[in-house]
Structure 1
Amino acid sequence: MLLPFALILVVLLKVVNANAQSSVTITTTSGRLQGIEGDGVTSFKGVRFGQPPTGSQRWTPPVAFVSNSTQNAKVLGPACVQQFPFAVAALNELLFNNPQDPPTEDEDCLFLNVWAPSTKPTNTTSSLKPVVFWIYGGALVFGTGSVPLYDGMSLASNQDIVVVTSNYRTNVFGFPGAPDLPLQENNLGFMDQELALQWVRSNIQAFGGDPDRITLMGQSAGAVSVAEFVSRHPIDPPFRAAILFSGATPNSAPFSPTAFGPFNDFSTALNCTQPPGAERLACLKALSADVIRAYTNGPTSGIFGAVVDNVTSFDDNLNRILLNSTARVPQLVGNTQNDGTLFTVGQSNLSAFLDSFDLGGIISPDTVRALYPGQNDTNVIADAYRDIVFLCPASLWTQAFVQSGISSVFRYEYGQLSYAFCTYSSYITINLPIGAVFPDLQVFPNAGAFHASDLQEVFGTYNASTATANEITLSKTYQTAIANFIKNPDQSPAPNWPKYLPGNNTKTLARLAYNGNVDTGNFVQAEKSNSQDSPCTELWNIFLV
């Protein structure tokens, strides 16, 4: 019996694909890892670095996982238990949780992933590859390294670097804000990140990576996490450079017992009504993760986050920078041009917006409008959110480091909502977005170059079926610039990208991909260093320092 040609072709393609990948084994402190080698990259996924933080170990600092056994490292591990804030839960899941095939969730989630170029160094020291350690965002309440957005294949293959992504506990599991615990044991997610980085330092040379050339890279809450790394490692930091996409922590509010409110409400709602302490904690540890998730993703839950403990998180970062009490490492810091739109979808009431920041009785709407002339209130709200949460902190953070004597600081702003106008008649005008604002990324109204829209360009994980030629080019250009910094953080990452010098007498703010410029030669436009900062200096910095 003759097989149909199509069936023969399918069989042949499967054979070719199987031959293109092969198994590879590397010995680490987590055991003998069985990964996959193919297309010039070896990948190891779902590598356990921490013991399961479950049962009696719930809400305890992570403990390193050590084994001599063989481990299957070919499949991504589960995400930590997620909390998706309610008003924009569906949008957050669309953007950050791969809803068509979401990762499974499990309280046992301390896993990491490694992508490394297959070509091993010829010398055990001089030719080791630089390493990037990625920390995802998600407001410290959701996020995982187990989604396609953060796949390290393209970065490792195209840029000849080792890429590591790692899970950390989020929301009430990782940042409980519990009076039942010692204050210094509340930021468990930051401790998970530290443990994962320790694993990388101990093991990455086996993958061809250089433990002395690790760059921390994070976005949003991941960038805040990187900032906290910088703040708490003033001596011999376990990394040599830092990249902060849309997130920095100039100063935080000092610790207040009100931080315990969401955890106390959570305990009461789940019928653990004992006074704060060991008995109440035991009651809560006896609950299943599913029961807890149902509450935290319900309408009565609060939002959980880091507390200032002066061990993992500080309230005086700017002073620490100026006093040389932080890591003295090169940094690349910035924001997207429309970082605020994702968080202000559907908002047009400026007074209500100010109330949400507890500024309603302090600042008038007209005062804010004057900072953003010629814009309607919807855009004013989005830009004000961007400035308060992302742009002004980046300005303060970079300025402090330059003032403290760190010369290798690079500041950027990514993308511009810029249009080419094509008029076909006196009645019809079509607006064609250019620059970093691509049609396949406009997934909600007024999106623009929105928060996290730059990540798929950095990781090279854009949708190949919908991406325009300009988007593909931009991804290659931007990814190369970021990799250049990872390889040598003391040199300009791209042509015309100078080291940052604050003030109005220099042009060192790098505008990236503005006005359709996506090629290596024109990707960076150096603008006046403080050109974006007037709302910060005129108003918002008062509330940030």
Structure 2
Amino acid sequence: MLHMQGLTRWLSLLVTVTTTLAGPITVNITSGSWTGVDEDGVMSFKGVRFGEAPVGHLRFEPPVPFVSSATKASDATRLGPSCIQKFINGFHEMLFNNPQDPPEEDEDCLFLNVWAPSGSASQENIKKPVLIWFFGGGLVFGTASLPAYDGTSLAKNQDIIVVTINYRTNIFGFPSSPELPLEANNLGFLDQELAMAWVKENIVQFGGDPEQVSIMGQSGGAFSVASALLRHSADDAPFRAGILISGASPDLSPTPSFTTFNEVSTALGCDQSPGDERLACLRNVPAETIRTFINGPGAHLSYGRPVADNVTAFANNMERLQSGDVAQVPIYIGNTQDDGSLFAVGQSNLTAFLDGIGASAAQITPYDVRSVYPDLNDSAVIAASLREIMFTCSASLWAARYADVSTVFRYEYGAAFADLQVFPNAGAWHWTDLQEIFGNYNASTASPDEVELSKTYQTIVANFIKAPNTSPAPNWPKYVPGSQNVARIAYKGNVELNNVVETVQNDLLDAPCALWNRLDSTI
């Protein structure tokens, strides 16, 4: 059973923050003229369109830039709708879709939001660093239109510009369709590329420096950051640093699977052979009908899987990292101490768990796994195993190989506050660190230490954004495999900048990976 009282407290984190609108402010950009709000030291522009509506004949098509010369200002005071969502289960929807006031969903969803310190645009000789945020959700769900990702606190406290973007997910963003060219299947990545190009072209109008752009993502958003690092070179990257929070990109299967797209097509009455006629049929199916199916009868199918097109995503990511054929920019990479606890909820049968992940093919037995985690019961063993399989071991591989081509700062986050324990044994769970970064914690339940850590963690992240080759916190050296230089953040109740980091040798964190790296990590 979930701790419902704790869950209710935590969900209040996601309630929309209400503010009194202050002075309007207008900006003229390639998307036209947009009027936002200048209030309490921050300018905000919400729901700014950067791509044409991907509907009708543009469904399952690469995004088209939205360009306008209109002089009548559009309203930029409200978050735009989310793209069509496909939730993994009701628990995840409850946690990650602001259930007390869920965002509107619409296929017309290519909007972004900008928060900038007041007066930034008028400081012609002082351009500010920029952060672009890619939300998580496993490329299956997620949106920039959550109050949890409001950039006000981060922009105001750290004197940076924050941009959050929508991109298509699930079958709308990663259709894996045999009708489409391979390079036109990873539409969500193309949406992200269009948004980054928009920032490069327009951010100066908000006071930002297009040469000081960092990209940051968590979970599926970190996968997206990793994919961007892999497909860009040192010469063409539209960013100068990357932050990967609880996620990276393993190798992709070189052979795409069209099973999900074919099954969805048939179920929705588009039973023609693969080709233009079937694609046209699917483009005429209402988006809400597709949403109902992928969240209902078709919920068991696999969504959000990029295809290896050798343009936006690759089958040989580890080889590319090894060769240095990547954007050679500094990265900040890591995960939380309990990143697996969310995904282990309700699981206690270790044998069934191992069968489900194909452990027998790697000759991994329950005895092997229990011996790696000797002091844990099977529920905790499963949670720890998922932490390693999904997060720690990929962070280890990425950090080790990226350290050969650029600066790397690696971390593990350990703060587990009482008001965030929304399910049994949650700990420092997947997503829990984001409220500290964005500063959108629940002020009515947060402890003084939590409030202080948010200030500290914002500073750490912003320090990296401002100077990505320099240590973002005292006592945090650059990552070198085998050295005492992985930052454990807020493990012992230390929440101030001068003591929040303690370093450990990566071998201590990565020891279980000798077992788990035997699994086939290709997706």
TM-score (norm 1): 0.89
Partner of 1:523: 500
Q: For residue 514 of structure 1, give the secondary structure of its aligned residue in structure 2.
A: coil
Aligned counterparts, 1:393-432, within 5 A:
393-402=394-403, 404-406=404-406, 408-415=407-414
> Deviation at 1:445?
1.5
Partner of 2:426: 447
Which of 295, 298, 303 is the equivalent residue of 1:297? 295
Partner of 1:533: 510
Partner of 2:146: 147
Tell me, in whole angstroms, the C-alpha distance in 2 between the residues paired with 1:139 and 1:197. 20
Q: For residue 273 of structure 1, give the secondary structure of its aligned residue in structure 2.
A: coil
Superposed CA RMSD in Å reads: 1.4
> Deviation at 1:544?
4.1
Tell me, in whole angstroms, the C-alpha distance in 1 between the residues paired with 2:340 and 2:308. 25
Tell me, in whole angstroms, the C-alpha distance in 2 between the residues paired with 1:196 and 1:99. 27
Tell me, in whole angstroms, the C-alpha distance in 1 between the residues paired with 2:291 and 2:204. 38
> Deviation at 1:541?
5.2
Aligned counterparts, 1:459-474, within 5 A:
459-474=438-453
Partner of 2:15: none
Tell me, in whole angstroms, the C-alpha distance in 2 between the residues paired with 1:405 and 1:303. 34
Q: For residue 393 of structure 1, give the secondary structure of its aligned residue in structure 2.
A: helix
Tell me, in whole angstroms, the C-alpha distance in 2 between the residues paired with 1:148 and 1:367. 43
Tell me, in whole angstroms, the C-alpha distance in 1 between the residues paired with 2:293 and 2:355. 27
Tell me, in whole angstroms, the C-alpha distance in 2 between the residues paired with 1:359 and 1:538. 10
Partner of 2:269: 271
CA contact (8 A) 2:121 2:204 kept: no
Deviations 1:138-183 (A, max 9, x none): 0101000000110000000000000000000011100111112111
Partner of 1:175: 174
Alpha carbons of structure 1 residues 299 and 339: separation in structure 2 relative to 1, 3 Å: farther
Partner of 1:75: 78
Partner of 2:466: 487
Aligned counterparts, 1:210-229, within 5 A:
210-229=209-228
1:197 aligns with 2:196: yes
Tell me, in whole angstroms, the C-alpha distance in 2 between the residues paired with 1:151 and 1:447. 24
Partner of 1:334: 334
CA contact (8 A) 2:84 2:105 kept: yes
CA contact (8 A) 2:339 2:428 kept: yes
Tell me, in whole angstroms, the C-alpha distance in 2 between the residues paired with 1:538 and 1:171. 31
Q: For residue 258 of structure 2, give the secondary structure of its aligned residue in structure 1.
A: helix
**Larger-Rg structure:** 1
CA contact (8 A) 1:392 1:541 kept: no
| AA partner of residue 469 (structure 1) | P
Partner of 1:61: 62
Unaligned runs of 5+ in 1: 1-16, 416-435
| AA partner of residue 242 (structure 2) | A
Tell me, in whole angstroms, the C-alpha distance in 2 between the residues paired with 1:133 and 1:25. 21
Tell me, in whole angstroms, the C-alpha distance in 1 between the residues paired with 2:297 and 2:285. 19
Partner of 1:369: 370
> Deviation at 1:122?
6.4
CA contact (8 A) 1:393 1:544 kept: no
CA contact (8 A) 1:223 1:243 kept: yes
> Deviation at 1:300?
3.2
Tell me, in whole angstroms, the C-alpha distance in 2 between the residues paired with 1:369 and 1:268. 44
Tell me, in whole angstroms, the C-alpha distance in 2 between the residues paired with 1:360 and 1:528. 31
Partner of 2:104: 104
Q: For residue 515 of structure 1, give the secondary structure of its aligned residue in structure 2.
A: coil
Alpha carbons of structure 1 residues 71 and 132: separation in structure 2 relative to 1, 3 Å: same
Aligned counterparts, 1:315-394, within 5 A:
315-361=315-361, 362-394=363-395
Tell me, in whole angstroms, the C-alpha distance in 1 between the residues paired with 2:74 and 2:520. 50
Aligned counterparts, 1:82-101, within 5 A:
82-85=85-88, 89-101=89-101
Deviations 1:412-436 (A, max 9, x none): 0000xxxxxxxxxxxxxxxxxxxx1
Q: For residue 252 of structure 2, give the secondary structure of its aligned residue in structure 1.
A: coil
Tell me, in whole angstroms, the C-alpha distance in 2 between the residues paired with 1:311 and 1:151. 32
CA contact (8 A) 2:129 2:161 kept: yes
Deviations 1:238-258 (A, max 9, x none): 100000000011x3232324x
Partner of 1:184: 183
CA contact (8 A) 1:485 1:493 kept: yes
| AA partner of residue 420 (structure 2) | L
Q: Which moved more, 1:522-531 or 1:128-137?
A: 522-531
> Deviation at 1:121?
6.2
Total equivalences in the alignment: 498
Q: For residue 508 of structure 1, give the secondary structure of its aligned residue in structure 2.
A: strand
> Deviation at 1:519?
1.3
CA contact (8 A) 1:242 1:330 kept: yes
> Deviation at 1:90?
2.4
Partner of 1:209: 208
Deviations 1:474-497 (A, max 9, x none): 111111100000010111111111
Q: For residue 142 of structure 1, give the secondary structure of its aligned residue in structure 2.
A: coil
CA contact (8 A) 1:43 1:115 kept: yes
> Deviation at 1:318?
2.0
Q: For residue 512 of structure 2, give the secondary structure of its aligned residue in structure 1.
A: helix
Q: For residue 180 of structure 1, give the secondary structure of its aligned residue in structure 2.
A: coil
| AA partner of residue 455 (structure 1) | L
Q: Which moved more, 1:463-472 or 1:203-212?
A: 463-472
Tell me, in whole angstroms, the C-alpha distance in 2 between the residues paired with 1:300 and 1:179. 19
Tell me, in whole angstroms, the C-alpha distance in 1 between the residues paired with 2:123 and 2:47. 28
Q: For residue 120 of structure 2, give the secondary structure of its aligned residue in structure 1.
A: coil
Could you tell me the percent identity over the aligned residues? 56
Q: For residue 81 of structure 1, give the secondary structure of its aligned residue in structure 2.
A: coil
Unaligned runs of 5+ in 2: 1-18
Tell me, in whole angstroms, the C-alpha distance in 2 between the residues paired with 1:410 and 1:223. 15
Q: For residue 129 of structure 2, give the secondary structure of its aligned residue in structure 1.
A: strand
Alpha carbons of structure 1 residues 501 and 32: separation in structure 2 relative to 1, 3 Å: same
Partner of 1:514: 491
Tell me, in whole angstroms, the C-alpha distance in 2 between the residues paired with 1:359 and 1:541. 9
Q: For residue 532 of structure 1, give the secondary structure of its aligned residue in structure 2.
A: helix
TM-score (norm 2): 0.93
Alpha carbons of structure 1 residues 123 and 153: separation in structure 2 relative to 1, 3 Å: closer
Q: For residue 485 of structure 1, give the secondary structure of its aligned residue in structure 2.
A: helix
